[in-house]
Amino acid sequence: MEVVATPSDADLMLRVRDGDEESFTYLLTKHRDPVVNYLYRMVQNAAVAEELAQEVFLRVYRAREHYVASARFTTWLYRIATHVALNSLRDGRHERNVAPLDDLVNDRVRELRDPEPTVEDHMLADARGWEIRRAVHALPEKQRAAVILHKYQDMEYKEIARTLRCSESAVKSLLFRAYETLRVRLGGLARR
């Protein structure tokens, strides 16, 4: 029996380049949630993250004519996403120092699904969540991107390096410094 190989994301993007709209819908469905969450952790605002994710996919669609499968599709996608997120942060339009209400509400909704959480549990979880977000937000932009790509997007050093356009050794250094900073900042929280 002949085994049909599943097309890679890069193959699908080449099909999009040739006018196959269905392949774009497939790529969108596959990568939408991870991209939205990457942007959410970068800018820490759900509404802004969704808006930026729209911008990312618009850029992907606009660039389809010139797409060359020289790197992994995800590398290219997250390079665009990182660029969009950093531009947004540098513009300062979406910069904020306090956790937005929608984050707290989202956390609360998720936690309500857990069995019998008390009001104290909610308050504690809110406070811990807020402190974690604040500590990540306080990291320099590139360290923040490296940590999120490593911890939540599950990328290896090589792919993070390509996404952030730096060497693998630079990524290792970024990650070590970032995690060390978080260890110092969140040390007290872990012991509570």
Partner 1 sequence: MNCKQVESRLIDYLDGRLARQEREVVEFHARSCSSCEERIVGLNDVFTLLDSWNGISPSSAFNARLEQRLEAEASKMGWWGRLFPRLLPVPVGNPTFAVVLFAVVSLAAILIRYAPTPSEKVADAPREPYVASVAAGVDDLTLYRKLPVLEDLDVLRNFEVLQELGGTKSLEQ
CA-CA distances (angstroms) from residue 120 to 45, 102, 124, 178, 187? 25, 20, 6, 31, 21
Cβ proximity to partner 1, 3 vs 25, nearer residue: 25
Q: How near is the Cβ of 3 to partner 1 at its closest, in Å?
A: 30
Work out whether 165 is an interface residue with partner 1 (CB under 8 A): no
Work out whether 66 is an interface residue with partner 1 (CB under 8 A): yes
Work out whether 28 is an interface residue with partner 1 (CB under 8 A): yes
Stretch that binds partner 1, among 3-11, 70-78, 86-94, 124-132 (CB under 8 A): 124-132
Cβ proximity to partner 1, 72 vs 151, nearer residue: 151
Query: Do 78 and 124 contact (CB within 8 A), yes or no?
Result: no
* Contacts to partner 1 by CB under 8 A: 25, 28-29, 32-33, 36-37, 40-41, 46, 49-50, 53-54, 57-58, 61-63, 65-66, 106-107, 110, 128-129, 132-133, 136, 147, 150-152, 172, 175-176, 179-180, 182-183, 186-187, 189-191
